[in-house]
Amino acid sequence: MIAWEMIYMLKEKGGLSYNTKMEIETMDIKSEFAERISEISGANLFKCYQCGKCSAGCPMAESMDILPNQIVRLAQLGQWDEIQNSNTPWICAACLACSVRCPRGIQIAEAIEAVRQICLRNRNSERRLGLSDEQIKELPPIAIISAYRKIAE
């Protein structure tokens, strides 16, 4: 639980008075969305302790609007809309640097693949490569096939 959430809870309980009796309780965070990601990717996002190593080593991070560690946090909190509107899943190059370096063993690249799959399966974001004849001529087959594979459900 991050700090602002705890302060919020104390305020709710009328806490933060001078003779505070602090009460700390564990709150089960449940997110259907994180569970769906788990089902598809096998990654348990609730193991994340926000060290940020995934984002630090991500070669594509500077082009992402939400960093990989932030995607994990948002998924834990069930913030599907923010994730859905982010460019991050579509910038990820699936190089697996995050997955192999995560100290908690979370398969982050796999989780991002699951986000792509959920978007594609929900049919709420139409994805086309829209390559011109010129691009098809220029690109090697390996680039075209892999790029198509990433927008195929």
- Binding status of residue 97 toward other proteins by CB under 8 A: yes
- Binding status of residue 122 toward other proteins by CB under 8 A: no
CA distances to 1, 51, 73, 94, 131 from 54, in Å:
20, 8, 13, 12, 31
- Binding status of residue 138 toward other proteins by CB under 8 A: yes
Exactly one of 13, 42, 47, 52 binds other proteins (CB under 8 A); that residue is: 42
CB of 16 to other proteins, least distance (A): 46
Q: Of 84, 76, 151, give the one whose Cα is nearest residue 115.
A: 84
Q: What 3-state class would DSSP assign to 23? A: coil
Binding pattern for the stretch 99-118 against other proteins, x by CB under 8 A and - elsewhere:
xx------x-xx--xx--x-
Question: Are the CB atoms for 17 and 27 separated by under 8 Å?
Answer: no
DSSP conformational letter for 24? -
Residues that bind other proteins (CB under 8 A): 39-42, 59-60, 63, 91, 93-97, 99-100, 107, 109-110, 113-114, 117, 129, 131, 135, 138-147, 149-150
